[in-house]
Chain A
């Protein structure tokens, strides 16, 4: 530094830093794997120092929401219990044996959501150690909000349903019409490939269709709020996500009841 100081000026160091910064930016864009390794490295190094702040944040958040959420959750639980009881009775009458559902959800806190990728990805504080697998469904308030795309031992990255590169098979609850849910990177959802002759109405629910072992069918996604212009015999339907995608703090990740690694 002293040698440089004798020959150079502060502004020149500034210029070197700017150039270096843009070189790093270029390198990270060119080599995304290196980018993710470094991001994960820094995030892992900061995991424990940041823990008190994260815990404090959650305490404040949960304390403020507890009173508000409690009554609505209580109502929801009661409603679900009644529905469940009625369904069990019907199944019993029909002589169908029902296997007990596996315990298969992990609650995770969101530890990073980039403003520049707000509707595309976020990071959660649970990983393969907690039984999370790549491709697992991620929900909030019971509604699908994305799928796990990358898993590390202590954290995972979630690809959101609002991303333009997100595609997932979905069905309209009332009519069983199948389509594909796709985002637009701006917080909007569209149900694609619905034949235009189908009469889908505003307010109809949309939930996941069978996608594989990590995304169970029947997870609610949202409801139809309108339609777009027909194209090639299909009419894309506008979908309103059921979850509050702008207010995500913690999520549930479907693990399918598999044992932790």
Chain B
């Protein structure tokens, strides 16, 4: 949990540093997805991760968004949904590529919901949304590589 708090702060620092240029991709959510979907993660730990997603999202909302509760709900909901989907597919299908797809889908969904609820549709907002999504792609690849390495070690 200390690592998660540090990661949250890292994302916050990056957002402070880049404020006005673009919205930083949700690195915190990506890490939680990685932790939740690793083969060694049990259900109890998954539940803790879901609540960590909620708390992290709520503090993020109070700091960076004008819709407190939305990121919290999205983070927790997406981690829970990913865990459910991961459980439903056969073990052979749980590949790093599928993991990357889940992470990207989560990023796109989370970003789109926020964008759809922004009260103003402006070019600035649209640019920020696109940059956030584009930056999310290399990060998702990095996270899936980490997933690949860590899950290989666990096998």
Instruction: Spell out A's residues near B (CB within 8 Å).
Output: 1-2, 4-5, 8-11, 13-15, 17-28, 35, 38-39, 41-43, 46, 49-50, 52-54, 56-57, 60, 110-120, 185-187, 246-249
B57: interface (CB < 8 Å): yes
B43: interface (CB < 8 Å): yes
Which of the residues B14, B50, B118 comes within 8 Å of A13, measured between beta carbons? Answer: B50
B79-87, B96-104, B138-146, B147-155 - interface stretch: B79-87
A57/B17 contact (C-beta < 8 A), A14-B81, A17-B77, A21-B69 known: yes
New A-B pairs, 7, CB < 8 Å, besides A9-B43, A50-B13, A118-B125: A1-B51, A14-B80, A14-B83, A18-B76, A27-B69, A116-B114, A117-B119
A21/B74 contact (C-beta < 8 A), A10-B80, A13-B47 known: yes
B54: interface (CB < 8 Å): yes
Complex CA–CA separation, A123 to B19 (angstroms): 12
Asked if residues A20 and B73 are in contact (CB atoms below 8 Å), the reply is yes
Closest-by-CB residue of B relative to A117 is B66
A116/B120 contact (C-beta < 8 A), A21-B57, A42-B59, A50-B16 known: yes
Which of the residues B14, B50, B68, B114 comes within 8 Å of A17, measured between beta carbons? Answer: B50
Asked if residues B69 and A17 are in contact (CB atoms below 8 Å), the reply is no
Closest-by-CB residue of B relative to A52 is B13
Asked if residues A17 and B12 are in contact (CB atoms below 8 Å), the reply is no
A39 neighbours in B (Cβ, 8 Å): 62-63, 68
A187/B69 contact (C-beta < 8 A), A10-B43, A24-B58 known: no
A10 neighbours in B (Cβ, 8 Å): 43, 46-47, 50, 80, 83-84
B118 neighbours in A (Cβ, 8 Å): 115-116, 118
Complex CA–CA separation, A39 to B54 (angstroms): 17
Complex CA–CA separation, A246 to B43 (angstroms): 46
A60 neighbours in B (Cβ, 8 Å): 17
Asked if residues B44 and A1 are in contact (CB atoms below 8 Å), the reply is yes
Closest-by-CB residue of A relative to B57 is A21
A186/B122 contact (C-beta < 8 A), A13-B47, A17-B76, A18-B76 known: yes
B48: interface (CB < 8 Å): yes
Asked if residues A22 and B73 are in contact (CB atoms below 8 Å), the reply is yes
Distance between A163 CB and nearest chain B CB, rounded to angstroms? 10
B107: interface (CB < 8 Å): no
Complex CA–CA separation, A52 to B119 (angstroms): 31
A186 neighbours in B (Cβ, 8 Å): 120-122
Complex CA–CA separation, A14 to B36 (angstroms): 12
Distance between B36 CB and nearest chain A CB, rounded to angstroms? 8
B23: interface (CB < 8 Å): yes
A14 neighbours in B (Cβ, 8 Å): 50, 76-77, 79-81, 83-84
Asked if residues A114 and B66 are in contact (CB atoms below 8 Å), the reply is yes
Asked if residues A17 and B54 are in contact (CB atoms below 8 Å), the reply is yes
Complex CA–CA separation, A147 to B51 (angstroms): 40
A52 neighbours in B (Cβ, 8 Å): 13
Distance between A182 CB and nearest chain B CB, rounded to angstroms? 16
A2/B44 contact (C-beta < 8 A), A39-B62, A43-B63, A117-B119 known: yes
